[in-house]
Structure 1
Amino acid sequence: MDIDTVLVPVDGSEESVRAIEVAVAVAERYGAQVHALYVLDRDQRERTERMMDAARDLAADVPLTHSVAYGFSTSHLTIHPGSVVLDASEDAGADFLVIPREGPADLLGKAAGYVLQFAKQPVLAV
């Protein structure tokens, strides 16, 4: 398997930290980089910065990039958080996805099912 970029959507939860750990392990195994996508459901700039600092610490020597996306839109209610993750995976050139599975009411929980169903890349749900 040829993997250059592992995308991991995060939201600051403990499940996200675990997903970063797994994404880093996959990246180390394949000599890839990690791209952490912070998925927001409202303005959380301070929490985003703390999560990205934690991601950098967890990545250690594994190259890490990151971006931020809103998981929903009040002007485009048809946008699903899962489609936001898949769009970001294409933008980042991700070959592999590691997604935290949270409760079905959580934003990333909603994204996980969608990503598992529609992703073109291999997906590991943790």
Structure 2
Amino acid sequence: MYERILVPTDGSETAEAAVDHALELAERYDAVVHTLYVVDTDSMSLTLGAEQLDRIEQGKFGEMDEVRERAERATDYVADRARERGLEVVEHVSAGKPHSLIAEYVEDNDIDLVVMGSHGRSGIRRTLLGSVTERTLRSTRAPVLVVDTDRE
């Protein structure tokens, strides 16, 4: 049923809450786990210049060691837990709009399922803050399993 499962992560507790669900499914279906960290260049655009943003989008972090380390910590968290269970794992870091790059990764890698965490916000709070999970639900062709961390 599932051969490739994607766990997008930003390194937050919310993202980490989805990992166990994804790994249980990967074990059950002998699936390859993919983990993706997207450097959100929209949120960085106010503090960085255009040249720095272009370099990050090309995967060239240069002096941005903190950004690269955060991305590696986030994907390593998923990868380490997957390997502890004997699962094959693919780590990837990209830069741009998270929901768009998640959808692109799903298409490019023939992902069967996306597993993501969410705070379960609704109404005006979600509208003001936006939601990568909400946008991913609307932009990807693969099923998306949303783990509501407020109910964990």
TM-score w.r.t. length of structure 2: 0.67
Partner SS, residue 141 of structure 2: coil
Alignment of 1:119 with 2:119, yes or no, is no
Partner SS, residue 65 of structure 1: strand
After superposition, residues 76-95 of structure 1 pair within 5 angstroms as 81-95=98-112
Whether the aligned pair in 1 keeps the contact of 2:35 and 2:79 (CA below 8 Å) is: no
Counterpart position of 1:9:
8
Shift >4 Å, 4+ stretches: none
Counterpart position of 2:52:
none
Give CA deviations for 1:13-69 in whole Å, capped at 9, x if unaligned: 011111122111111111101100102125510111222222122112111101112
Instruction: Structure 1 unaligned segments of length 5 or more: list them.
Output: 73-80
Alpha-carbon RMSD across the aligned residues, in angstroms, is 1.8
Instruction: Structure 2 unaligned segments of length 5 or more: list them.
Output: 45-63, 148-152
Structure 1 residue 82, shift from structure 2 partner:
1.5
Structure 1 residue 120, shift from structure 2 partner:
1.8
Whether the aligned pair in 2 keeps the contact of 1:85 and 1:111 (CA below 8 Å) is: no
Whether the aligned pair in 1 keeps the contact of 2:34 and 2:89 (CA below 8 Å) is: yes
After superposition, residues 1-126 of structure 1 pair within 5 angstroms as 2-41=1-40, 42=44, 44-59=67-82, 60=84, 61-72=86-97, 81-102=98-119, 104=126, 105=129, 110-126=131-147
Task: Calculate percent identity across the aligned residue pairs.
Answer: 37
Amino acid aligned to 1:68:
V
Give CA deviations for 1:99-122 in whole Å, capped at 9, x if unaligned: 1224643xxx62211222232222
Partner SS, residue 100 of structure 1: strand
Whether the aligned pair in 1 keeps the contact of 2:106 and 2:142 (CA below 8 Å) is: no
Larger radius of gyration: 2
